[in-house]
Structure formats: C-alpha cells, structure tokens
Structure 1
C-alpha cells in the first residue's frame, strides 16, 4: 500500500547521540540511571501478534501484513497468563497488536478475560479484520469491554497520510458499527505538531457529532513526537527535578506478553513500546517479570517520562 508523507514521528528511532542509552546502570555522563519498580500489576497487555492489515507510516512496532516478528498468541497461552494475573489481583487486560483481530483466537481470548472478571481494552483499527467477527463479537458488548479505535486525526487527509488511501471510510464505518452495536467506544488519536490539545479535542468532537457516534469511553490523545530530537537520559535525580514519581510511569503498573517468531513459548516484557529489545525481556511468567525496569531507552524519556503518555485506560 502506498503512503503519503506522514506528519507523525517514527517512534522506533534511536537517539542521535550514540553514547547514550548504552549502559543499563549509568548514563553517558556517568550518573545513576533511573529505574521504575512494579508497584502493582494493574494492566496486563497481551500482544496478539504483529501482523496487521495496514502498514502505517510511523507504527512504533512496525506492524504490517508481512511482519510476523511476534507471532499469534494462542488462546491456551493467553489463558495461562489470565489465570496468573487473576491471582495477582490485576484489574485490566489490554489486547494490542498488530491488529488484534488478525488473530483467529481473538474473540475467545476476549471472552476468557471477561469471564474472569477483568476490565478489557482492545486496540483496533475497526476495519475488515474486526468486521469479520461481528456475529461472535456483538454478544460480548457490555460495561467491562472497551473497544479503542485508532483515528490518527479528526481529518481524513491526515489519517490517510498515516494509514493509506481509502482507510478513513472503513475505519469510520467500523467505529459507527461498534457504537450502534452498544460497545463502550474510545478513540485514540494524535495532535499535529503546532495543534493544541484543545484544538485537537474540539476537532474530534465535531467529527463525532457529525457522524452521530457516541464515544462514551473517551478520547485518548498522544502528543506529537519528534524523531529527530535528541532526548536526555533519565537519571535518579530527574524525579525531583521534574516533580514526577516513578510510580506514575507505565512500567510501574503494567507488563506485556509477547511471543517472538521461533520461540517455544511467550515471555513478558516491560512495556508495550519495547517488545523487541532483549534488555526489556523480563521472564516467562508474571512473577519473573516483577522486578524493576531500568530506563535505558529513548522511548523511556521521550514517550513516558517527558511525554507523559500511557497506553492504558
């Protein structure tokens, strides 16, 4: 699929300064690197696989119709983690990909999470992979299940610059189906560089009203990211300097399960943004993955500490 130039940054970009983010314990300046302890596993993400029906210009995980670097998670594998998470008192299960509905076990995995009393969040582009499961998916609608649809902007031109020609109408149609079928619906979007949050939210609200869509679970806006920006490393002193708590970071309350191609079984990683980096692979069980995370990656600074982002609801 051909793409127009995107206004969004490539979140997979490495730092301009090659001396940074090399040692997990100390920064390039020799200062003690910040770390984050897991205070409680509030959200467990299950990555269903990196295959996607789209090849978006700035996908941080490089999902595409050909990228199976992370293979499909099976229902049996998912259930094992759901059981462990239930024993730990986890509140929420998030499903992400790729496009989760490329995975043939997707609907049974949602049902298994709901049956165990979890709040469930599914990130989807609401296009054909989801629509083929309408009959099986519709009975699962209810207050415990939120479907978060990606609309990269409130304008068709910007959305299609990111996702490809013809994607806008299909995404909007899927969003409309979810709303009419009674699902709790959220939308994930982004601000353009130079666009204020208030302007972005007003634009999305006008769109929802024009479409007659109820977005009852909220609009999540991700800030613009500059891939060319050289970000600072986060030291232990930064928490006081920035007036932030490590407990507010994503890795203080969440983990993600992935299954790399060729692996016998899945394992747990620290963050939804870092599924490939081996230093963030924490073990095969949730218990194994309960240790602290060293913030030794540009995403830790750019997206989480300085960007204030969170993938969960």
Structure 2
C-alpha cells in the first residue's frame, strides 16, 4: 500500500499525522516547498516491470499497471511546454522498467534531439538489451548527454537478490558490462537499508566495479547514488516550517524545488503531473495537466517527504 491512507495505517506511524496539508498533528504550520527552478522533468513510463522487488518505492511489478504506459504523444506534449516556458536541463525516465514501454526509445530520442540531458533508470536486464542497437545508436549520436543509471541494491549477489529475486544479479551483470564496454555515461543506484555505513557501501561497490573493470568512482555521489531507507511501517516526524532552521536544511535543496514527474493513470484520458518521483499514486497531491499548473508549492504532507527527502537527504536527480 503506497497511498497516504495506507501510510497512515502502517504500524508505528501515528494516524494523526499527515492529514491536514496546512497543519501538523501538533498544530504547527506544515512546511512547504516552492518550485525554485524546474531543472529535471521526470517521465514515469509506466509501473510495469520485469521484476517485483521486495521494497520497490512504487510497487512496480509484471502485473502493476496502475500507471499505464506513457504514450509518446503525451510525453511530447509536456516536452513542447518545457521547450517553450521552462529552462530545464534534464529529462529523466523511470518506471517500472522504461525499456518495456514500446514508445520509450522514441521518447528518449525526442528528449535528446531537443537538447536535454537524458537520465534513464533501468535494471539493465533483458528489456534494455532487446533495444541495445537503438540505445547504442543514440549514444553514438549524443554521447555524454545520454546517462544510464543501473539499479544495484547491494554490491553482493546475496543481498541484491534478496531484494530483487533469485537470479536477478546474474541477469543484471551482462547489461551492466555492456554499458561500460560501450562507453555509456554510467552510474549506479544502491540502497542504504543494509545496516552498513555509507563508507562501507561505497568501498564495497568500488571493489565490485573495479573487479569488473568498470571505471566508476564509487566515492562520487553522482556516480554511486545511495537512496535512504523507506520503511513505510516506521514512524517519522512531520516537517514544520520551524524544521528548516532546526535541521539547517534549505527548502531549495528538496527534490520538489527543482523537479516534477509526469504520470498517466490507468484509464485516464491524459497524463498529469505529480510533485516528485515518490508519490505517483497520491491523487490528493496531483498538480494538474500542464507544467504551468504544477508551478504551485508542495505541502510536505506525506511520510516520504520527511523520510526520504528532508531527513534522508535523498534525490532521484543530481541535475
């Protein structure tokens, strides 16, 4: 369960929290984040995936099509608005597994032709390799502007497969090696819920990558992105306006200060805009059918806002 009501019912999470967009449970003014600049526009290409991970942030799976495949025409509608009215530098593609969307390669090419950097999140498995020729052609045309980030939850086969299913490690490695061998701008996304320090994780990933001859600096947070734990059952404090000063955190550093995500709900006539990559099912947080409508400030009225972004320091983009 990923909607706000399910989060509120989760064991350990105070049911009085995250109810009122303006006021926290203790009566304080809830924090909000203004759109400072739209640097990254995300497209969720659909929640269908070839894997069903234990702790997937948005419950992607081979059967979850709550977000249907985003059509090329809808993606280009938003790209046209982006070209006209915004100064974004990056378009990100996430899922599900983006390479399963039959329109994905055309979307990716459109973003690159328009001059944007393109960031693709993938598990680097068979869906990607089925499009290897097309993907390589785009790399040859656009070089470093095409960035592929591979999800590797841990640097060991055992823990990676614990999250992603038996055999996932061995199905990921050929794609990872192919990307590296063909000179793609490459990064890796790992997870931090292993009760292991960040230094230890970076050292472990560094050993793993070096052993495969992949020259990726695991100490660089842009090349190895480590996402914070997202335990939906754990209690988390609400973020008030006073928290910015207490935590010494700037609202402008939050993901929703610089990005938005386009989603297409199953059966909906058109795509709409969500505040970030973590809240695709929250209809109460939906921001409209255009990027102009999505300029509004975001009230931090969801546990993920506190857990992942404010307290966890997480961001899906490094634009």
Which stretch shows the higher mean deviation, 72-81 or 153-162?
72-81
Q: Residue in 2 aligned with 1:252?
A: 257
Deviations 1:224-268 (A, max 9, x none): 344432111111111111111111100000000000001000000
Deviations 1:153-211 (A, max 9, x none): 00000000011111101111101011112211100011244311111001001000111
CA contact (8 A) 1:11 1:59 kept: no
Q: Residue in 2 aligned with 1:4?
A: none
Q: Residue 7 of structure 2: SS of its match in structure 1?
A: coil
Instruction: Give runs of aligned pairs for residues 176-191 of structure 1, distance below 5 A.
Output: 176-191=177-192
For the pair 1:21 / 2:18, whether they are aligned, the reply is: yes
Q: Residue in 2 aligned with 1:97?
A: 95
Q: Residue in 2 aligned with 1:3?
A: none
Instruction: Give runs of aligned pairs for residues 223-262 of structure 1, distance below 5 A.
Output: 223-262=228-267
What TM-score, normalized to structure 2?
0.92
CA contact (8 A) 1:44 1:255 kept: yes
Q: 2-side partners of 1:226 and 1:261: how far apart? A: 26
Q: Residue in 1 aligned with 2:313?
A: 308
Q: Residue 207 of structure 1: SS of its match in structure 2?
A: helix
Which stretch shows the higher mean deviation, 262-271 or 219-228?
219-228
CA contact (8 A) 1:99 1:124 kept: yes
Q: Residue in 1 aligned with 2:74?
A: 77
Structure (1 or 2) with the greater helix fraction: 2
Q: 1-side partners of 2:159 and 2:310: how far apart? A: 27
Q: Residue in 1 aligned with 2:35?
A: 38
Deviations 1:245-292 (A, max 9, x none): 111100000000000001000000101000001121000000010000
Q: 1-side partners of 2:147 and 2:178: how far apart? A: 14
Deviation of the 1:48 alpha carbon? 0.2
Deviation of the 1:71 alpha carbon? 0.4
Instruction: Give runs of aligned pairs for residues 48-197 of structure 1, distance below 5 A.
Output: 48-87=45-84, 88-141=86-139, 142-197=143-198
Deviations 1:95-116 (A, max 9, x none): 0000000101111111100000
CA contact (8 A) 1:184 1:215 kept: no
Deviation of the 1:214 alpha carbon? 3.0
Q: 1-side partners of 2:189 and 2:114: how far apart? A: 26
CA contact (8 A) 1:185 1:214 kept: no
Deviation of the 1:32 alpha carbon? 0.7
Q: 2-side partners of 1:99 and 1:225: how far apart? A: 20
CA contact (8 A) 2:3 2:282 kept: no
Q: Residue in 2 aligned with 1:218?
A: 223
Say what the alpha-carbon RMSD is for the aligned residues.
1.5
Q: Residue 118 of structure 2: SS of its match in structure 1?
A: strand
Q: Residue 234 of structure 2: SS of its match in structure 1?
A: coil
Q: Residue 282 of structure 1: SS of its match in structure 2?
A: coil
Deviation of the 1:127 alpha carbon? 0.2
